[in-house]
Chain A
Amino acid sequence: MYIFFKGRFLNTFSLFIIPLLCSLSGCNALKGSKPILPIKKYEKMIVGRFDADYVGTTNCLAACHAHDRLKKYFDASTMGAQLKKESGLPLVDCESCHGPGSLAIKGLTRKLVAENAKKGIKTTCDYKTLIDLKALPAPAQSLICLKCHTANATFNLHNWNASIHAVNGVSCFDCHTVHKSPDLKVRPIDTARLCFRCHQTTQVEFSLPSHHPVNEGRVFCTDCHNPHGGSSAMLLRKKTIKATCVQCHPEKRGPFVFEHADVAADCMNCHTPHGSVNNNLLVARQPFLCLQCHVGHRINSPAGGKASAAIGSAFYSKCTDCHSNIHGSDTPSFSGKGRLTQ
C-alpha cells in the first residue's frame, strides 16, 4: 500500500480519471446525498410541520419587512444568490432551513401589513409554526446545514462528525451566523473573540508575559486550529504539533543530522503555545527546563570542594547560550558529537 501510494498513481488518478468518470457517467446520478443509514428522528426534527406547505421565499418576504436587515447580508452570499432560480445555482430558500411556511403567513397580506404599519403596529408572522431552530439539539442544528453541505463537496467538514466540537454538542450555529456576512464565514481577525466566548481560560493565557500576538490581531486561532475537526489532536490544522508550528517557524522543520532525540517532534514538551510566564513560551525556565531530563554539568572542582561562582554561572544560567541549536543541528560539536552547540 505504501509503495502504491508513494507512486504517481494517485496524482494521475485524481487529476484526470475522476473528472473523466464523472463526465461519462452523468452528473445527476452522483449529485444526490446517499446516507449509509438515515437518522430518522433527527430528520423529523428538521422537516417542520407536516400540515404546512412550502410557499417559497417570495411569499415569505413579500408582506413582511422585518427581515430586511437580515436579508441585506444574506442576499450577498452564495446562499442568498441561490434564492433565485435564475442564478443557476442549487436552490436554497428560507424554507430550506426554517421549514414550510404556509401556516406562518396564513392570513397575512401586503395590505394588512401596510395598514398596520400606518397604525404603528408591527405585523409578525406566526413564527411558532416554523422550526424552532434555537431549541434543536446541536446535532439536529448541524444537520440543517449538513443536509445541503453533504450533497455538495465541502472542504473543511471531512472530520466534523467525530470532531471534539461535534462530540461536545457544538453546532454550526454557534460560530456561523447565516444571515450575517457575504461568505457566512468568521473573519480571521474576529476568530479570537468568537473562540474566547467558550475558551475563557485560554484567553487568560494570552495575557501572560510571553504569548503569541493573538490579542494584537496578528495571529489567529485558525492559523493553528481547524474548528471543523481534523485527523490530529486538539483540532490542529496540520497532522502533527510540529507540522503546525513550522508553518510559521520553518527554520525548525528539519530533519537534522543531530536530532534532540525525539523530543523536538512534539514542540509542547518544552513550549506552551498560548502563553507562559516564561520567555519564549517555555513551560519552565532554564536551567530547570533542561535539568528535568539532563544531568547538569559538574558543580564541584576536580580537586574536590565547591566549583567557583563563575563556573556555576557559566553552567547553570541559560543552557541555550551554548546549546544554541537545541531544535537540531547539522554540524558536530567541539567534542565531535551531536551536543547541539555548533
Chain B
Amino acid sequence: MKRSRARRFLRECLSLGLIVCGTVAPALAEGTPKGVENNARLPSCQSKTQFFAGYRWVNLDDSERAGEYQDLHSSLTAGIDAFSCPLPYRFHLNGEFLNKNDVYADTGYAYSDLLLFRDIFIRVHHNLEHSDYQHSGEPPEINYEDRNVGARYSTNISNNFLSLRLKAPDFPFHIFLKHRYVAKEGSIQQRFLLGGFENIHKISETRQIDWRSNAITLGVNSHLGPLEIEYTHDFSRFDPGNNNVLYDFYPAAATRPADIYPHNVIPETESRANSLKLHTSYTGRIVASVTLDNGHRKNNYSGAVADTWQGAVDVSWVPAPSLMFFFKYRHRDLALDNPDFVTLKGLAHTMTYPVRRSISSRKDIFSWSASFRPISRLTIIPAYHFEHLARQDSAAWRILPEYTNIHSIKLTAYTRPLNKLKFKAIYDYKYYDHPAYNIEPDSSNQVRFSTTYLPIPQVTALLDYSLTLNVRNHIRYLNVEPDTVVDGGKRTSRNDRFLGSLSFMLSPKASLTASWAYYRGEIEQDLAYGKWDAPGWDGDLPYIDPGVPYTNESNSYTLSLNFRPRDDTTCTADISHTISAGKLLPGTAITETPDSLTSFSALKISETELSIKITKQLRPGWEVGLKLLSHIYNDEIDDRQDGTVYITTFSLKRSF
C-alpha cells in the first residue's frame, strides 16, 4: 500500500517535471548559443575563495542541556566561502562543517538569467530532556515505570531546500520547482498512560524515530503586460518511518476487554494544493493582487480528510505621496471530514467507537489601513481589522460559540523630531465578540513606545517598552460529571516588555554595547478543579479557585565588545546572563488544592554564555582564529538539567 502510494507520488513528480521541462526547453535551447557567443564581451568578476579548517574541543560537565543544539563531541571542523563568476555562469558555495551532525551549506548556480539554482542544506543536532517521574506512587492505584532509566535522548534533523528556476529567453516567463526535504532521526522519550483512573500506569520509554517529509512545489509565472500571473501546484508527503505505531497491553476497561492495543500512532499524511496568484503592475497608483488557493490534506492511517479553500485580495492606493491606503480581504473555508466511527484493532479483539465530528470553520478577515505623512518627520498609520470566524459542528463540543468576531483598532506613529532622535508609538485595541477559549480576552489594550537617540556621535541609546492588558470577564469550563458548563469566572493578564540598550564608540577601533531586557507575563485566573460528590462516587460541580496568579519573568543582560587593537587583529567578546523565573500560587481557601500544583509550576533558571573570538592575519591570504564559547545552565528547581559546556575552536583560514 505504502509502495503504491510512493510510486504514484514519484510518477506525479516525474510527469509534472516532464511537462515543465518540455514547455521551457525549446525556449532555453534557443537562448543558449546567444549567451555563449557573448561570453568574451561580458563583464567578469574575480573568483574568491576562503577556506578554513580547524579543530573543535568540547568539554561537557553534567547535563547536555547546556548545549541544546550542539553535538557535544570534539571534532575536526572546516568551512568554505567561495564564489566564481565566469559570466554568464555564476557559482557560489558557502558552508560550515562543525561535525557530522552540525552542517550548513548554501550552494548556488546560475546561467545568465535563464537558470537559477539554489540549495540550502542544514543539519542540526538537538539534545532532548529525559523527564524523570519524581513522584512516588501508591500501588496498585498509581504506578510509574521508566523502561529506559538513564537513557539519553537526541535527534538529528536534516533540512534541505532546493529551488530551480528556468526563464524563457527575452521574455518574462518562468517555470520553477521548489523542494523541501526534512528528516528527523534519533531517539525521543515517549510517555503514555496505560489504564484509567482506577489503575493509573504511567510509562516512559525510548522511541526510535525515522521521519521523512517531502514537499514539492511546481509552478509557472509570467508577466502579461498589465498582469502578472503565477500558478503553483504543491504536494507533500510525510512518512513516519517504521516505528509509527506502538503496542502495549492495556487492562480491561468498561468499554473494552484487556488486550494488546496500538497507541501513540504517528500517521502518514499527504497534502496537495493549487494556488493561483494575479497582480497588477507594482508601479501604479492602484496596485491589486489576488490569490486563490485550494488544498487537500489526508491522513492515510485513519482516513481523516481536510479540505481548504482560501482567497486573498490586497489593494493599495496612493492618491498622493503623503497618503496611502491599503485594503486587505482574506477568506478561508476549512472542511474537516473525520470518520463517524473508529475501529481499534487489538491482538484478539476489535472494537468500534463513535467519533465526535471535528470543527469545520469559515473565516473572513477585512483590514483597512492608511499611511499619512502630514510633515516629512511624522508618519501616522491608522488601521482597522475585522475578523469573523464561524464554526460548524461546534454544538457537539459544548463550550465553543458558533462564531467569534474580533474588532481591532491600531494607531501607529513614527516621528523624527530631531535628526538624532527617532520615536515610535503604537496603540492597539482589540474587542472580542463571543471569545471561544478562556485564553481569548473580551478586550485587549496594548501600548508600545520605542525610541532611538544619538546624544553624541559616539553614543546610541535604544529604549523600547510595551504593555499589554487583557481582560476576560466570563470564562467557561466544561465539567464532565455532571455534564455542564460552569460559567462566570474571570481572567486578567498583563505583559510588560522593556528593552534598553546603550552603544558606545570608545575609539575608532573599539565599540561597546550593553543592554538589559526585562519581560514579564502575569495572569490571574479563576481555576476549576474536579470534585467527587462526597461521600458518593459521582462527580460534583468543580471547586473554583479564585484569582490564581501565574507569572513568567526573565531578565537578560548582555555586554558586547568589538575591538581591533591592530589592523591585522580583531577581537569580539560577548557575555550574556539570563535569569528566568516563574511561579503559580493556587489559593489556600480550598484545602484540597494539591501541593504539587505549586511545586511543579515553579521555575528558576539562570544561563550564562560567554563568547570570545580572536582573529589575526598572519600574512596576506592567511588568518588564524580562536573562538571560545562557554555556556552555563543552572536550573535551581531541577538540578538534573544543570550543565556547563566549553567549546574551543582553533582554525586556520586561507583566502585565494
Contact = CB atoms under 8 A, between A and B. Distances in A.
Contact of B580 (A87, A166, A189, A277): A277
A256 B230 contact: no
B171 A188 contact: no
A161 B287 contact: yes
A334 B593 CA distance: 26
Contacts of A294: 477-478
Contact of A248 (B35, B138, B182, B501): B182
Interface string A311-342: 11111111011111100011110111110011
A167 B110 CA distance: 33
Interface string A4-48: 011000110111101100100001011111111111011001000
A15 B19 contact: yes
Interface string B246-284: 000010011110000111111101010010110111111
Contacts of B466: 201
A324 B265 CA distance: 11
Given A209-B607, A309-B596, A318 B172 contact: no
Given A162-B315, A269-B439, A22 B326 contact: no
A182 B479 CA distance: 62
B280 A35 contact: yes
B222 interface: yes
Nearest to B530: A298
Nearest to A41: B321
Contacts of A276: 552
Nearest to B135: A313
B6 interface: no
B38 A86 contact: yes
A22 B173 contact: yes
A149 interface: yes
B159 interface: yes
Given A302-B534, A325-B264, A285 B601 contact: yes
A335 B253 CA distance: 7
Interface in B104-118: 104, 106, 108, 110, 112-113
B238 interface: yes
A254 B306 contact: yes
Contacts of B23: 15-16, 19
A313 B136 CA distance: 8
B584 interface: yes
A251 B211 contact: yes
Interface residues of A, number: 155
Bin chain B's interface residue count.
35 or more
B466 to A, nearest CB: 8
- The winner among B200, B263, B605 for most chain A CB atoms within 10 A is B263
A247 B124 CA distance: 16
Given A204-B556, A309-B595, A251 B230 contact: no
A311 B199 CA distance: 11
B220 A15 contact: yes
Given A296-B530, A318-B600, A239 B293 contact: yes
Given A86-B41, A251-B266, A312-B596, A257 B355 contact: yes
Contact of B94 (A31, A88, A187, A313): A187
A98 interface: no
A295 B526 CA distance: 11
B174 interface: yes
A66 interface: no
A278 B582 contact: yes
Nearest to A322: B193
B45 A88 contact: no
A36 B286 contact: yes
A295 B519 CA distance: 29
Interface string B112-140: 11000000101010100101010111100
A76 B87 contact: yes
B301 interface: yes
A296 B238 contact: no
B7 interface: no
B172 A151 contact: yes
Interface stretch (A99-107, A115-123, A124-132, A211-219): A211-219
Interface in B70-118: 70, 83, 85, 87-88, 90, 92, 94, 102, 104, 106, 108, 110, 112-113
A291 interface: yes
B524 to A, nearest CB: 11
Interface string A181-209: 01100011100000000001100110111
Given A302-B537, A336-B255, A284 B310 contact: no
A167 B542 CA distance: 49
A253 interface: yes
Contacts of B267: 254, 256, 330
Contacts of A312: 594-597
Given A161-B316, A200-B464, A291-B527, A334 B223 contact: no
B652 to A, nearest CB: 21
20 contacts: A18-B173, A42-B321, A75-B44, A76-B87, A88-B170, A150-B223, A153-B230, A189-B104, A200-B501, A209-B607, A256-B338, A277-B554, A277-B581, A279-B129, A287-B601, A297-B530, A300-B534, A301-B534, A303-B535, A325-B264
